[in-house]
Structure 1
Amino acid sequence: MYDRILIPTDGSECADSAVEHALDIAAQYDAELHVLSVVDSRDVSHSAPAISPEQVQQTLRDRAESVVESVAERAEAAGVTVVTAVEPGIPDDVVVEYAADEDCDLIVMGTHGRTGLERYLLGSVTERTVRRSSVPVLTVRGSEESDDA
């Protein structure tokens, strides 16, 4: 049923919960797991005026690569074939495009990575991905959300 599963991750606790589900599904179906982290390409210069936008982007890319590598190590330890990618762009755009380009059968992602007012004003990457994806999207709540439900 599933040959290629996409797990977008930002390294948050909620994304980590989704990783566990994706690893389990990939192992059950002997599917290839695609681990993707997106470096948001929108302007970040306002967040740290003393640091150049290039330095901020490089720091974000380094963190994304570390997160992807960590998930890849877990997949390999579980005997799951893994493909990794770190891509720049607008997160939901990149997730939807990546899933289509790589012919993924399922996207597994946390319900959110960010918290607070910004999430409610902008909407979440997950919500936009669910609306736009042509393949099923399994959303996973983080442990901190279970207490609020």
Structure 2
Amino acid sequence: MYQDILFPTDGSDGAEYALDHAVDLAGRYDATLHVLHVVADVWYPDGDPEGFDFDASAVERHLRERGDRIVAEAAERAGEAGVDCETEVAVGYTPHRAIVDATDDVDLVVMATHGRRGLERLLMGSVAEKVLRLSETPVLAVRLPSE
């Protein structure tokens, strides 16, 4: 039924929980798990890096290294379960757009949702919600159980 499953991750507790579902499904269907982490563009408030006292390339490098660790840890967990895994860190994208673009070659997306509501949802937006609306590929949104 599923040959390729996309697992976008931000390294959060919710994503760690959703990874269990992704690995389980990939194992059941002998599917390849594609782990994706997105590093968005470094943003400048006025669109111009001049006048800011920080090195944007150092920030991007740090975020890339963090993304590399996140996907490596997910791949290790998949490997321990006997699941084939491929990883990617996409740099310079809007998270929901990178995820939707990656759905072209997969049969299912398994991703976490943070379950934001009200004003927090309005202000923060929801990557999972945007992926659910825009993806033509089925999406399994996994919510971290409340304590």
Query: Aligned equivalents of 1:44 and 1:56: distance in 2?
Result: 12
Percent identity of the aligned residues? 47
Query: Aligned equivalents of 1:65 and 1:120: distance in 2?
Result: 30
Query: Aligned equivalents of 1:93 and 1:112: distance in 2?
Result: 18
2:86 to 80, 83, 93: 83
Deviations 1:46-78 (A, max 9, x none): 9xx543111111111100000000000111110
In the TM superposition, residue 118 of structure 1 has moved relative to its aligned partner by: 5.9
The 5 A counterparts of 1:123-134 are 123-134=125-136
1:139 to 117, 126, 141: 141
In the TM superposition, residue 44 of structure 1 has moved relative to its aligned partner by: 5.4
In the TM superposition, residue 9 of structure 1 has moved relative to its aligned partner by: 0.4
| Counterpart code for 2:31 | A
Number of matched residues? 141
Q: State TM-score, norm by structure 2.
A: 0.87
Query: Aligned equivalents of 2:132 and 2:59: distance in 1?
Result: 29
Mapped contact 2:42–2:60 kept (Cα < 8 A): no
Unaligned regions of 5+ residues in structure 1, if any? none
Range with bigger deviation, 89-98 or 109-118: 109-118
In the TM superposition, residue 120 of structure 1 has moved relative to its aligned partner by: 2.9
Whether 1:64 and 2:93 are equivalent positions in the alignment is no
Q: State TM-score, norm by structure 1.
A: 0.86
Secondary structure, in 3 states, of the residue corresponding to 2:109?
A: strand
Secondary structure, in 3 states, of the residue corresponding to 2:54?
A: coil
Mapped contact 1:35–1:68 kept (Cα < 8 A): yes
Partner of 2:2: 2
Deviations 1:10-41 (A, max 9, x none): 10001111100000000000000000000011
Whether 1:92 and 2:96 are equivalent positions in the alignment is yes
